[in-house]
Structure 1
Amino acid sequence: MMLCHYKRRLFCIFVLVSVLTFSSYLLLYSGTDTNYFLISKGKGERSADFQINRGKVRAEKELNEPIMKWAPNLKKLPDLQPQLAANETFDEEDVEGVPMTGTGELFDCPPPPKWLNGRQPCRPAKKIMFLKTRRTGSSTVQNILFRYGEKHNLNFALPREGIQFSDVSGMPFQRSQMMKTNHTPEGYDILCHYARFNEPGLSSVISDGGIYITTLRDPTSQFESIFTHMRLDKLFRVPGNNLKSSFRVFMEKPEKFYSVLSSTLRRWAKNPMLFDLGIAPQEMLHLRQVDNYVQYLDRKFDFVILREYFDESLILLKKLLCLDFQDIAYVEHNVRSAAAQFTDTTAEGLDSQVLRWNMGDARLYEHFKEKTLCLIRHFGNEKMRREVMKLREMNEKYYDLCVEDILNDGANVWSPANSRAIAYKLKEKAVENEMCVNLVKPEYIYTRELRHKFMTNISQKLN
């Protein structure tokens, strides 16, 4: 009897321990203090969803569809979706030989594109579609393409008026937004003014193997720049003593302000880069559709320039378009004056709010950041360092040769009210230097001159 009673007590204890263990397991996996990230070892291999909880990394389950192919330096994104990547231990200083967090293995890159492997001859590009996005360094790239197009006497597709194709409604690009003329038998070679991406419309202008390029920027800084430069505080009537306080108020409850305006007025107030790249606003609400659209953009664009890797991106662009160092020399354009640069989202502790609100842009940026790091790896780190140094030396040379001063309230530089952009004052001797003049020429003036040149050429051909 004593033995049987003892066995029953052991059995009860065993059941109790099992129940408690199972309950703890459920609590652990239903907690709200977790962050997720995705690691995939390469194309065709299975992805794993990893959960970070109290500093411990553990595989949770396999996903049916890999969303990211590599896992380099990924910012820690908000805990909203289990597919979202968040790896903060990648060392940006050494792109080659970076271990994946928790694995000790190297992340894999796909094979390099043909234009990077050095096997095809270098021929200057004659058909370029540059999708100009907002607050991503795109005005600086545009100036490079202005100079390149003039150097090779290429035909520019120009807006009907002003400096952008898409009007205030944010309509996708259509040929009807171009200058009205029926006398361009040679077709167009470069399109580089702001337009909302619409592949059928753009391919009707730049076809025959045109190279598609755009620019992106880390959403934490890009969204702050959009908010400031476009004066979203006034549009949404955000309370605050200044831009800095209004931005913080907006980021605390962005839905409150976003929901009161029509879709036309709020188009840049959430995922502005995806909006410029043509995604339908309703598709931004579904991350699987966002991921599918990012893959679509990956297929359509030959190269994406990143603001955070700007010089490295220009070196790669030089290779893609067969440019020289003088072609890619630059001064920064459409940069806010010092007075308009009010905050650092990291220092202000707003990174997570900005990324949570712009989740689609975060996924877009991380995808192309990974791709850019792989291109740098294929190009060669040491070779990249040498060429970046050469580019910066050339930039310094032209700055010293051309620029006398930076003006914080530049004339002929477009910017919304109360958010001024800088301009450059040329040295007296540089006024006669064509490179200096074009290097600092604002978009408004360059566009006006190109439009005049375009109409003059048409008149000459008709006579």
Structure 2
Amino acid sequence: MSLNVFKYRLQEHFSRLLQKYFCFRMIRLWLWGSRGLWVALIVFVTIGLVLQIWQWPFQTRPPGLYFPQLWAPSSGSSGSSLARSCHPQQQLVFLKTHKSGSSSVLSLLHQYGDRHSLRFALPIRYQFGYPRSFQATSVKGYLPHGGGPQPPFHILCHHMRFNLPEVLRVMPPDSFFFSIVRDPAALAISAFSYYKSVSSAFRAAPSLAAFLASPRAFYRPGGRGDHYARNLLWFDFGLPLPREMRALKRHPKPLKRTQSSDIHIWPSSSVSQPSKLDPNSLFKPPSHSTSRVRSADHSTSLSPTSITDSVTSSLIQWALAWLDSTFDLVLVAEYFDESLVLLADALCWGLDDVVGFVHNAQATGMKNVKGHKGVKDHGGIKDKQLAARARAWNNLDWALYVHFNHSLWDRADRYGRVRLASAVAKLRARRSALASHCLLGGAAVDPGQIANLQLRPFQFGAGGVLGYVLKKGLSPQDHEECERLATPELQYKDKLDAKQFPKAIQSPSHLPNATSPGPKGS
């Protein structure tokens, strides 16, 4: 038992003894006489009020890891679920895209669902048949129609290639659909390092610079693992490729989540339209100006619209409109903390529900990460030409990224820039405090320093994957909460699996091996 909890319990016990003593004295005075009773009542009411005032500070929750709501909505704010009466959203579909910071989001969902005893739609292994399109039958415990009563699933969040019709067989259409995107230039560096051994195109190239200088010398459509080498975000969203559209000579029909008009879907008219694919207006506009800032490392000659034919341009327009009607929110990795605040607002969650540590960070790129400081270094890309080539080669991903960057900041404007900055500062302070409280050294460490296998991330790719070591001497309650924050995604998935299917035998053969890149990857 921690010292703070001991003090709290001692004060509470002492207060109860005082109350019992005064109650006993009151009974004796009542027996003494009516005049004495009135005097006693006045005295004891006064003493009771003083006692209540003195006792009030000790009636709060004992000090621990989780505090009450750390920010309050400003009066008169609009467009915020926290500014009005709302209920926390607990039916969630998260499309976990590769190499985009999605493992950190997954960790938050694991923790939230675990604390609230929600039911996850879990894969039989660690992914839903990726890179094949998602199928409802790949969900453990899923019963097809006619197979008996189907217990409801609350959260679907592990790796898949998105397939809306099959997702709707598992999750209700009014679930909150969200995902995350990352600048294709930063994503290219991470993917090349991580998937070099499994992508034939990456494996044949001596370096990322050599690959991007002449990608068609290495890349062959349909090559083994080569979906990692080009437009990986587009692939994960389950979108068709331009060559498929050329073969069909038509565009796919938009598939909506529901035909019911009473189910809220974020209107596409309220976010940036597909025509706003201007690479010079990409990043966060300053709060004191309505104009977008010019990105110094973006080449106007390599915008996605200037390097695509009419079929591709038309397909991009269709895809963005369809995604707007399907996903309620798309986070942006480069503005991770801002995205989390807006996610908490949309879900009517508290700030602590989106405070967590970064997961699946490669040791080569994120040394001494303290929890998570946001991803604003663009993957370490300093060569402007290399970045421009990466965006041009991944032109479909670039279109997604520009569009959802705009939509995120449109939402930020509705939330309020000053309010957003304040919430982000509180979130970062909270994360830093948790890291200092929970972690040995207060930061992520190389995998070789992690002796506890339950906290050691699965290692894959050229660089090691960072993890966490907990401090010794934590109270049982704090240790449980800190362990939730530090547990990697594979081990947490196994924990949830054992909780939902307690009779299932967990075999060591289920663990991924070096030939299975998919279990991590974000």
TM-score (norm 2): 0.61
Contact 1:413–1:423 (Cα < 8 Å) also in 2: yes
Contact 2:182–2:401 (Cα < 8 Å) also in 1: yes
> How far does the alpha carbon of each residue in 1:68-101 deviate from its partner, in whole angstroms, 9 at most, with x for none?
xxxxxxxxxxxxxxxxxxxxxxxxxxxxxxxxxx
The structure 2 residue matched to 1:164, chosen from 120, 127, 136, is: 127
Contact 1:216–1:306 (Cα < 8 Å) also in 2: yes
**% identity of equivalent residues:** 28
The structure 2 residue matched to 1:193, chosen from 158, 161, 171, is: 158
Q: What residue is the counterpart of 2:200 in the other structure?
A: 235
The structure 2 residue matched to 1:424, chosen from 443, 464, 468, is: 468
Displaced runs of 4 or more, over 4 A: 117-120, 180-184, 339-343
Q: Distance in 2 between matches of 1:224 and 1:203?
A: 34
Per-residue deviation, 1:220: 1.0
The yes-or-no answer on 1:450 pairing with 2:471 is: no
Structure 1: 5+ residue runs without aligned partners?
1-113, 241-245
SS at match of 1:279: coil
Q: What residue is the counterpart of 2:176 in the other structure?
A: 211
Per-residue deviation, 1:385: 1.0
The yes-or-no answer on 1:346 pairing with 2:382 is: yes
The structure 2 residue matched to 1:326, chosen from 343, 346, 352, is: 352
> How far does the alpha carbon of each residue in 1:210-239 deviate from its partner, in whole angstroms, 9 at most, with x for none?
000101111110121111111269733334
CA RMSD of aligned residues (A): 2.7
Contact 1:238–1:249 (Cα < 8 Å) also in 2: no
SS at match of 1:129: strand
Give the letter aligned to residue 353 of structure 1: R
Q: Distance in 2 between matches of 1:418 and 1:386?
A: 38
Q: Distance in 1 between matches of 2:116 and 2:379?
A: 41
In the TM superposition, what are the counterparts of 1:21-420 in structure 2 within 5 Å? 116=80, 121-161=85-125, 163-167=126-130, 170-180=131-141, 182=143, 185-231=150-196, 235-236=200-201, 237-240=203-206, 246-259=207-220, 262-281=222-241, 282=243, 286-338=312-364, 344-347=380-383, 349-405=385-441, 406-409=444-447, 412-420=456-464
> How far does the alpha carbon of each residue in 1:394-439 deviate from its partner, in whole angstroms, 9 at most, with x for none?
0011000001043322654234243321000110124832210000
Structure 2: 5+ residue runs without aligned partners?
1-77, 246-310, 368-377, 506-522
Per-residue deviation, 1:321: 1.2
SS at match of 1:212: strand
Q: 1:120 to 1:263 in 2, by over 3 A?
A: farther
Q: Distance in 2 between matches of 1:200 and 1:443?
A: 26
Per-residue deviation, 1:166: 2.6
Q: Distance in 1 between matches of 2:424 and 2:81?
A: 19
Q: 1:181 to 1:280 in 2, by over 3 A?
A: closer
Per-residue deviation, 1:294: 1.6
Q: Distance in 2 between matches of 1:201 and 1:352?
A: 36
Q: What residue is the counterpart of 1:94 in the other structure?
A: none
SS at match of 2:380: coil
Contact 1:132–1:195 (Cα < 8 Å) also in 2: yes
Per-residue deviation, 1:387: 0.5
Q: Distance in 2 between matches of 1:181 and 1:456?
A: 16
- Select the structure that is richer in strand: 1
Per-residue deviation, 1:291: 2.1
Contact 1:133–1:194 (Cα < 8 Å) also in 2: yes
Q: Distance in 2 between matches of 1:348 and 1:382?
A: 32
SS at match of 2:464: coil
Q: 1:407 to 1:133 in 2, by over 3 A?
A: same
Q: 1:287 to 1:414 in 2, by over 3 A?
A: farther
Q: Distance in 2 between matches of 1:239 and 1:223?
A: 13
Per-residue deviation, 1:448: 0.4
- Select the structure that is richer in helix: 2
> How far does the alpha carbon of each residue in 1:246-295 deviate from its partner, in whole angstroms, 9 at most, with x for none?
11110011111112x63452112111001000012335872211221121
Q: What residue is the counterpart of 2:480 in the other structure?
A: 434
Contact 1:165–1:178 (Cα < 8 Å) also in 2: yes
Q: Distance in 2 between matches of 1:192 and 1:431?
A: 31
SS at match of 2:191: helix
Per-residue deviation, 1:178: 1.6
SS at match of 2:170: coil
Per-residue deviation, 1:187: 1.4
Give the letter aligned to residue 196 of structure 1: R
Q: Distance in 2 between matches of 1:121 and 1:263?
A: 52
Q: Distance in 2 between matches of 1:136 and 1:452?
A: 28
Per-residue deviation, 1:148: 0.9
Q: Distance in 1 between matches of 2:465 and 2:438?
A: 19
Which structure is richer in relative contact order (CA contacts within 8 A, separation 6 or more)?
2
SS at match of 2:502: helix
> How far does the alpha carbon of each residue in 1:37-83 deviate from its partner, in whole angstroms, 9 at most, with x for none?
xxxxxxxxxxxxxxxxxxxxxxxxxxxxxxxxxxxxxxxxxxxxxxx
SS at match of 1:396: helix
Contact 1:338–1:408 (Cα < 8 Å) also in 2: no
